[in-house]
Amino acid sequence: MRILWVNPSFLDYRVPVYDALNRMLDGGLRVVYSKERTPPRVVRKVEEALGGNAIGLTGEHRLELGEKQAWANSFIRIPYQPGLMRTVLGIEADAVIGEGFFQWTPAALMKKLVQKTPLAIAYERTAHTERRCPPWRTVYRRQVLKFVDAMLCSGEQCSRYSQSLGMPPDRIALGHMSADTEGLRVRCSGIGPDLRAAIRKHLRVEGVAILFIGRLVELKGVRRLMESWIRFEQACPGTATLLIAGGGPFRPQLETMAAEAGLGNVRLLGHVDYDDLAAVYAAADAFIMPTLEDNGALVVPEAMACGLPIICSKYNGMHEDLIRDGDNGWIFDPHDPEDFVDRLRVCVASASRLPEMGSRSVEIVQRHTPLRAAESVIDGCRMAISHAYRRQRGPQAGQLLTRP
């Protein structure tokens, strides 16, 4: 099978999936992407993984409206990439994948319309992230779906939302998203007890270390995290340390809140390079994701691969797929201060169980590795090819493509 994936920008976690997929296809994957929108370190990684199969384009023009780092549907980007259509139409493929419904996906849709190439859409959105979706976007998505042969959905919530738009469940493949779980697991396992103790000493960890990694913006729930931590510290003083890794506009406010509350157990680490994250994960005892809106925060499977139990917001779009409440973590509502503080208390009170819970996280996340994600992509492309074939040749013909 030859697959063309049209994806204008992505981060480090995509590269292991592309690498695994290309290997499974014996070099049959092509990725067309923007060299300008994708960070330079990721460009280097994808070129190392795919070689000439990674086709980076430059010179994109963009009309951008709204605030980038705000809530879903508060920002619109209308791109024009010179040479995109010619590049996409010039690559032979048995299936083409568009990333979402807009951005560069119209080029993938054109390949479907002009060359009859089966089309799949890789998707992450959920009903919660799309609760403010304007009607015109919903109408547009439903119209595009008339030409889509299959969907690659990140998880159960994404699948349900895609079905609400009109995609039949038998043309949905789950699990195309994955963090670099194997790479992080290996790097974390290489950090022995002595080095871990040294890192914790450097970070001045006392008690249970609870870690957050992410952008310091409102929608990630960091303000509510600090508010709840202040209440938690008043109830359980000196029992835990909060590690916050990441940068963003909320950092000054978090520093002020911690100083005014007299907190001596909050460490604002700033931005940590992706390649250095393993050391931060290794220093922690548990991971917290207080997001108010997320398609599927990939730091959660990263933390799971590093053996951490998860305190996870119910607004993380993949919590159903990853968290077993009371088994490898806890689910909570960050809008409910009592629930938030209670989960922090339960986590610290369960200190002796945290390593065992972390081991369960490792077991669960094995179903969400880059290899599994690549297998899901191939399954979705087979669905797309089968559906397109049936549509062209009649219902009996598609059976030939679904046999083992």
Q: How far is CA 350 from CA 45, 209, 227, 229, 332, in A?
A: 39, 13, 22, 17, 16
Q: What is the pLDDT of residues 61-91, one digit of tens each?
A: 999 888 776 788 888 889 999 999 999 999 9
49 token code pair: 């993984």
| pLDDT of the residue at 65 | 86
Biggest distance spanned by C-alpha atoms of the chain: 71
Q: What is the pLDDT of residues 222-261, one digit of tens each?
A: 999 999 999 999 999 999 999 999 999 999 999 999 999 9
What CA–CA distance (Å, rounded) separates 351 from 241? 13
| pLDDT of the residue at 397 | 45
| pLDDT of the residue at 209 | 98
Percentage of the residues of the chain whose pLDDT score is greater than 90: 89
| pLDDT of the residue at 399 | 46
What CA–CA distance (Å, rounded) separates 404 from 396? 16
Q: What is the pLDDT of residues 168-224, one digit of tens each?
A: 999 999 999 888 888 888 999 999 999 999 999 999 999 999 999 999 999 999 999
| pLDDT of the residue at 230 | 97
| pLDDT of the residue at 235 | 94
Rg over CA atoms, the chain? 22
- Which of 32-36, 270-274, 316-320 is predicted with the least confidence, judged by mean pLDDT? 270-274
∠ CA 265-271-276, rounded to 5°: 95
Q: Collect contacts of 68-73 with beta carbons under 8 A, ≥24 apart.
A: 69/215, 69/217, 69/248, 69/249, 70/217, 70/218, 70/219, 71/132, 71/219, 71/293, 72/125, 72/129, 72/130, 72/132, 72/133, 72/293, 73/130, 73/132, 73/133, 73/134, 73/137
The mean pLDDT value of the chain amounts to 94
Cβ proximity of 152 and 173 under 8 Å: yes
Asked whether the predicted pLDDT for residue 398 surpasses 80, the reply is no
Q: What is the pLDDT of residues 259-270, one digit of tens each?
A: 999 999 999 999
Q: What is the pLDDT of residues 283-313, one digit of tens each?
A: 999 999 999 999 999 999 999 999 999 999 9
